Amino acid sequence: MTVFDRKQVGGLVLVRDGALMVADGVSKILESSEPETQLQYDIMKIVTRQTEGPSGVYLKASEEDNRNNPDYEALLEDLKQHDGKLTRQGYFCWLFDDNTTAGMKLSKK
């Protein structure tokens, strides 16, 4: 059995604690880098109406115009999963407060 003095034990404890912190940090990075499951839909299959608002012209997709449209439903779900705003397929999209209407504008990127 190896005998360590207090100074050596203190150093080993610091090394152990540091290694545990690094391992925990690496685990968090790996967990956060897992690919998201992105919903599949085609924005071009969503019925929209050109509308003008305070920031200019945009496309508006409503529940009324998109009954039984799986692409519209998937867009709404995607928006809800991303706090109501996202960029997909070249469009910046946002969700209105009613949670059933989406706005879209060509992305500036």
92-109 confidence digits (pLDDT tens): 999 999 999 999 999 876
Chain centroid to CA 5: 51
The torsion of the CA quartet 63, 64, 66, 67, rounded to 10 degrees, works out to 90
Q: Is the pLDDT of residue 20 over 60?
A: yes
Does residue 74 come out as left (phi exceeding 0), alpha (psi in the -120 to 50 range) or beta?
alpha
β-strand 49-53 against 85-88: which pairing, if any?
Answer: unpaired
pLDDT grade for 8, boundaries at 50, 70 and 90:
confident
- pTM, full prediction: 0.65
Residue (of 46, 81, 50) closest to 64 by Cα position: 46
pLDDT digits (tens, 9 = 90+) for 27-76: 777 666 555 567 899 999 999 999 999 989 999 999 999 999 999 999 99
